[in-house]
Amino acid sequence: MSRPLLELRNVSMSFGGMRVNDDISFSIGKGERVALIGPNGAGKTTLVNVISGDLTPSQGAVHLAGVDVTALPISDRVDAGLIRTFQITRLFKSLTVAQNVALAVMQRKGLTRSMFSCPMDRPDVRREWERALGTLGIAHLADRQVSQLAYGQQRLLDLAIGLALEPKVLLLDEPAAGVPSEESSKIIEAIDRLPSDIAVLMIEHDMDLVFKFARRVLVLANGKLIFQGDPAEVTHHQEVRRAYLGSYADARHAS
């Protein structure tokens, strides 16, 4: 088997006396689609923060394509292709939609040192940010200020920025949460069309989306990884059902 793109080795994260992630190990290979589920407060977002480099784990290590990145700053991980989106959108509000995505493109291409030229309209740069906006169906909003966008459109833009960075490993933190159905279908389409060789880890509450998207499911409860495996098996797993799925699993069984 080839080396996994993302690997967590015995990662624990504590705040004060509180252990939010407890001895978590898993790996995700090239092209895998993995969902991370768990009840509120299970430590899912904390885990994404640890992987992306916003938090340094109290113990354990994060490996990216075989390289230990635990001590590396966020920006180095981004350069290595580890990209995330946010559960609550974080965008550059004083810039336009196009500038938000173009900045990501220019940062990836190492053009943000440029002080006097404006490569945003350079054909190769323009093609890329237009494509990222087009993929999510928001190309017509390119010249809008971010503050003028509806929430659903902001979520699409957040994902567009992620795509423009050409991820190798993409962490999606509840990409469709709070998004009206029209836009969530665009998000799901975009996730479906992601290049097949990248690894995707998605936190999601919407179980229909999880079953549709994931080939493998990780379940986090009270900071511990209590299950990882086939989505079809997850509903049969007693501990998972107790911890999380509850009525949903029963409903699926009944049907």
Partner 1 sequence: MTDRAMVDGVSPPRFSVPLELRAVAITLALGVLGYTLFPDDLAFLTRLISITLLVLSLDLVTGYCGVATLGHAAIYGVSAYVVGNACLAGHSDPLLLLLVGAVAGAVMGLVSGVLVTRFKGLPQLVLSIAVGQLVAALANKLSSLTGGSDGLSGISPGRVFGVYAFDMYGRTGYVFSVAVLMVVFVVLLRIVHSPFGLLCQAIKDDSLRARMIGARVYPRLVLMYGVSGVVGGIGGALNAINTGVVGLDSIGFERSAEALVMLVLGGAGSLWGALIGSIVFQVFEHYVSAANPFHWMTMVGALLIAVVLFAPKGLVSLGGLLAGRTASVMRRRP
**Beta carbons of 201 and 193 less than 8 angstroms apart:** no
- 113 binding partner 1? (CB under 8 A): yes
State which residue, 61 or 142, has the beta carbon closest to partner 1.
142
Q: Does 143 bind partner 1 (CB under 8 A)?
A: yes
Name which position in 2, 147, 247, 255 contacts partner 1 (CB under 8 A): 147
- What is the closest distance, in whole angstroms, from the C-beta atom of residue 114 to partner 1 in the complex? 5
Residue type, 140: H
Distance CA 177, CA 88 (A): 9
CB of 49 to partner 1, least distance (A): 10
Contact between 142 and partner 1 by CB under 8 A: the answer reads no
Give burial (CB, 10 Å; 0-12/13-18/19+) of 75: exposed
Q: How far is the CB of 44 from partner 1 (least distance, A)?
A: 17
Among 70, 92, 205, 231, binds partner 1 (CB under 8 A): 92
- Paired sense of beta strands 216-221 and 33-37, if any: parallel
Give 93: exposed, middle or buried? Use CB within 10 Å, 0-12, 13-18, 19+: exposed
Q: Count Cβ atoms below 10 Å from residue 242 Cβ, excluding itself.
A: 12
Nearer to partner 1, 37 or 160 (CB): 160
Residues 36-65 as x/- pattern, contact with partner 1 by CB under 8 A: ----------------x-x-----------
Which position among 13, 160, 161, 172 is part of the footprint of partner 1 (CB under 8 A)?
A: 161
Copy the structure tokens of residue 112. Answer: 């943000």
Size of interface with partner 1, in residues (CB under 8 A): 43
Give the one residue of 95, 139, 177, 226 binding partner 1; rule: CB under 8 A.
Answer: 95
Residue 154 lies near partner 1 (rule: CB under 8 A): no
Count of other CB atoms within 10 angstroms of residue 210: 18
Are β-strands 169-173 and 67-68 bridged in parallel, bridged antiparallel, or unpaired?
Answer: unpaired
98-131: b (≥16 Cβ within 10 Å) or e = bbbbbbbbbbbeebeeeeeeebbebeebeebbbe
Instruction: Please identify, using beta-carbon distances, which residue of 74 and 251 lies nearer to partner 1.
Output: 74
Near partner 1 in 174-233, by CB under 8 A: none
Q: Residues with Cβ < 8 Å from 137, sequence gap 6 or more? A: 156, 186
Shortest distance, CB of residue 73 to partner 1, whole angstroms? 8
Q: Which residues bind partner 1 (CB under 8 A)?
A: 52, 54, 73-75, 78-79, 83-84, 86, 90-96, 99-100, 102-104, 106-108, 111-121, 143-145, 147-148, 161, 165
